[in-house]
Amino acid sequence: MTPSVGQPFKIAWRNLFRNKRRTLASTITVAFGAAGLLVFQGFNNGIMNQYRENTIRGYYGYGQVFTKGYYGKVYEKPWEHWINDPERMEKELLSIPGIVQLFPRLSFFSFIVKGGINLAGKGEGVLPLREAAFFDKMNFEEGTYLKDENEVILGKGLAASLNAKIGDTVTILSQTIHGQINGVDLRVAGIFHMGIKAIDDQYYRLHLKTAQSLLGTNQIEMFSIQTKGVEYWEDIQRHIEEEVSTLEAIRFEVLDKVYYQNSVDFLEAQFNFVRSIILLIVGLGIFNTVAVGMLERGGEVGALRANGEQVRRLWLIFLIENSLLGLIGGICGLLLAVGINKTILSSGIPMPPGPGITRHYRILLEMRGEHYWSALFLPAFVCVASSIWPIRKLLSQKIPDLLRSSY
């Protein structure tokens, strides 16, 4: 081995200082591309996480537990598939590491009556105090959450159809699981919306005990789960399925596939498109700069090749040079993005209410490890890729032509 192994790296590095203005222009191009990718990905992630929080804390929790085979199916007698002895089951589930709180729920179909108006609705019995502590992202149009067993909160569309206002009394009529007609009068405490008209037109909530009394059962339909975080779900799900064989756990992305997962997929597709545009701009900028730079080196490359320099070594030198350029530009871009995040965007980006949400909120950039890597390496890769054609064009020329092309 000759002592020239490290020579291409040295020459490539020095070549960056050959035309400082051009190197600076290329570095800025790559840096803006990398910063753009990182900021946009952080923004996107911020939106997704904000939306995830809304989904989790609005209704679903981190996931829900049903008896095995219940979720996703319709039964003539659903109570035959509900969870028996919920207190015992709750204790068992709470012993699983990572579970912070459980929210037992019981949903059922009923008539809801006010004055002469009689509508079909879907009620859900919950434990109000427990739910209010965690599910703080419900959208209330008027009033407040349930405070006692004599109250009900109504979906916006349902309340409008019933012409119900805060303080009005409505009557819930249903059938117990034993087939008897049963009813209860409840006072309207709040009017909310979930952002989906079909739900808001028929959905209402009442105290779990009231719902159980109405249906003549002490069963519940399912538990909604609060965990220590999204990252705990896999373990919790595994524990539940191993330790409580009669139950199955469904994560929130599956429960809210229509809204949450589709939104995530939509934002991801949008990001991929914007990323392609950013990388295309970086690629074109670098291509132009490298092409001009290569043109100027014709005579020099011709003289080197006339003296025996090998084409593959020149390829290596030029590719290293552009890799270094891409990496330096990428690092500058990451620093720029972090700087922007810590200064201009430190208090987040104010956003209008999202779909199905009434609150304004601020998006904080959430840049994760893998975002840094992709923002660093994608523009660097594009930088190298866009230099290949100009390099190839230069190195495929005959030596006499290169010598004649000298500046």
**Closest to another protein by CB, 11 or 274:** 11
- The two tokens of residue 300 are 């020099």
Q: Of 190, 305, 363, 380, which lies in the binding site for another protein, with binding defined by CB under 8 A?
A: 305
Nearest approach in angstroms of CB 403 to another protein is 7
- Those residues whose C-beta lies under 8 Å from the C-beta of residue 242, and which sit 6 or more positions away, are none
- Closest to another protein by CB, 358 or 406: 406
The reply on whether position 299 binds another protein by CB under 8 A is: yes
Token pair for residue 11? 């020459």
b/e sequence 133-143, b meaning 16+ C-beta within 10 Å: ebbeebbebeb
Assess 173 for contact with another protein (CB under 8 A).
Answer: no
Smallest gap from residue 386 Cβ to another protein (A)? 22
From 178-186, 196-204, 300-308, 340-348, span contacting another protein (CB under 8 A): 300-308
User: Measuring CA to CA, which residue among 285, 286, 297, 283 is closest to residue 11?
Assistant: 297
Interface with another protein includes 303 (CB under 8 A)?
A: yes
CB of 313 to another protein, least distance (A): 8
Question: Residue 68, interface with another protein (CB under 8 A)?
Answer: no
DSSP element (H, E) containing 128: helix 128-134
Contact between residue 159 and residue 188 where contact means Cβ atoms under 8 Å apart: yes
Shortest Å, Cβ 285 to another protein: 23
Count the site residues for another protein by CB under 8 A.
27
Class of residue 242 by CB neighbours under 10 A (exposed 0-12, middle 13-18, buried 19+): exposed
**Residue with smaller CB distance to another protein, 142 or 309:** 309
User: Which of 179, 229, 308, 352 is in the footprint of another protein by CB under 8 A?
Assistant: 308
Applying CB under 8 A, among 342, 359, 360, 398 the residue interacting with another protein is 398
Which helix (H) or strand (E) element contains residue 203?
A: strand 203-207
Stretch 15-44: interaction string toward another protein, x if CB under 8 A: x-xx--------------------------
400 forms part of the interface with another protein (CB under 8 A): yes
403 makes contact with another protein (CB under 8 A): yes
The CA-based dihedral angle spanning residues 93, 95, 99, 100, taken in that order and rounded to the nearest 10 degrees: 110
Other C-beta atoms lying within 10 Å of the C-beta of residue 262: 11
The C-alpha atoms of residue 69 and residue 41 are separated, in whole angstroms, by 38
- The residue range among 6-14, 109-117, 322-330, 347-355 that interacts with another protein, by the rule CB under 8 A, is 6-14
Q: Which spans in 244-310 are helix H?
A: 252-255, 262-296, 298-306
- Determine contact, residues 162/186, Cβ cutoff 8 Å: no
Q: What gap in Å lies between CA 205 and CA 150, rounded to an integer?
A: 11
Residue 361: phi and psi, rounded to 5, are -150, 170
Choosing from 166, 173, 338, 399, the residue that interacts with another protein (CB under 8 A) is 399
| 306 near another protein (CB under 8 A) | yes
Give the shortest CB-49-to-another protein separation in angstroms: 47
Identify which range of 36-44, 81-89, 245-253, 395-403 contacts another protein by CB under 8 A: 395-403
Give contact residues for another protein (rule: CB under 8 A): 2-4, 7, 10-11, 14-15, 17-18, 299-300, 302-311, 398-400, 403, 406
